[in-house]
Amino acid sequence: MPVSGVVISCLVGCSEAVSGRIAAFDGVEVHGVLPDNQIVAVIEADTVDAEVKLVSQLHEVEDVVSVRLAYHNFEDL
């Protein structure tokens, strides 16, 4: 099961709103909202494909500029 740490950059002043939006996704845990329009979140999914899909979906969320994978683990658990 893959586990990833991601950094999400948002448009200026939108990070609180975005964190609310992304927290609604299954398998996404928001770990912190940083003062420079960035959000740190952890993503869990069943397969790498599902995970990539999830990251892609986060990309589509309103006011998200980029989603950056900072840590990725997909060994079997």
Partner 1 sequence: MDSSTKHSGITRRRFLKDGVLLPLALAAAGGGVSTLFLRRADARGFYLRPPGALEEGNFLAACIKCGKCAQACPYNSIRMSGAEAGVAIGTPHIIARETPCYLCPDLPCAKACPSGALDRKLEDVEKVRMGTAVIVDRENCLSLRGLRCEVCYRQCPLIDKAITILPRHNQRTGVHSIMEPVIHHDKCVGCGICENACVRDKPVIVVMKSPPEQKDYYEF
Partner 2 sequence: MALSRREFLKASAAAVAFAAAGASVLNPKVSEAGDAGIKWGKAPCRFCGTGCGVLVGVKGGKIVATKGDPAAPVNRGLNCIKGYFLSKVLYGKDRLTKPLIRKGDKMVEASWDEAMTLIASKFKESIAKHGPDSVAMYGSGQWTVFEGYAALKLFKGGIGTNNIEPNARLCMASAVTGFMTTFASDEPMGCYDDLDLGDTYFLWGANMAECHPVLFSRMIDNRLKNPDVRIIDFGTRRTRTSQMADQYVRFNPQTDLALLNAIAHVIIKEKLYDEKFIKKHVVFKKGKENIGYGLEDKFKFTDDPKPISFDDYKKFLEKYTPEYASKLSGVPAAKIVELARLYADKKRKVNSLWTMGFNQHVRGTWVNNLVYNVHLLTGKISRPGENPMSLTGQPSACGTAREVGTFTHRLPADMVVTNPEHRAKAAEIWGIDVKRIPDKPTYNATEMFRALDRGDIKVLWSQVTNPFQSLPHLNRYRKGARKGDGRFVIVSDIYPTKSTEVADVILPSASWVEKEGFFGNAERRGQQWFKMVDAPGEAKSDLWQTMELARRLGHGNLFPYKYAEKEIFEEYRKFTVGGKDLAPYEAYVKARGLRWPVVNGKETLWRYAEGHDPYVKAGEGVKFYKNKKDDGRAVIWARPYEPAAESPDKQYPFWLCTGRVLEHWHTGTMTGRVPEIKRAYPAAVCEMHPDDAKRMGIKNLQKVKITSRRGTIILPVDLNGRGKAEKGNIFVAFFDETKLINELCIDAYCPISGEPDYKKCAVKVEKA
Residue 20 interface partner, choices partner 2, partner 1, none, CB cut-off 5-8 Å depending on type:
none
Q: Any long-range contacts for 48-54 (C-beta under 8 Å, 24+ apart)?
A: 48/2, 48/74, 51/2, 51/4, 54/25, 54/27, 54/28
Q: Are 2 and 45 in contact (CB under 8 A)?
A: yes
Q: Which of 31, 34, 66, 71 binds partner 1 (CB under 8 A)?
A: 71
One character per residue 18-37, x = contact with partner 1 (rule: CB under 8 A): --------------------
Quote the DSSP letter at residue 14.
Answer: -
Q: Enumerate binding residues for partner 2 (CB under 8 A).
A: 1, 3-7, 9, 11, 29, 31-32, 34-36, 38, 40-44, 48-49, 52, 56, 59-60, 64-66, 68-75, 77
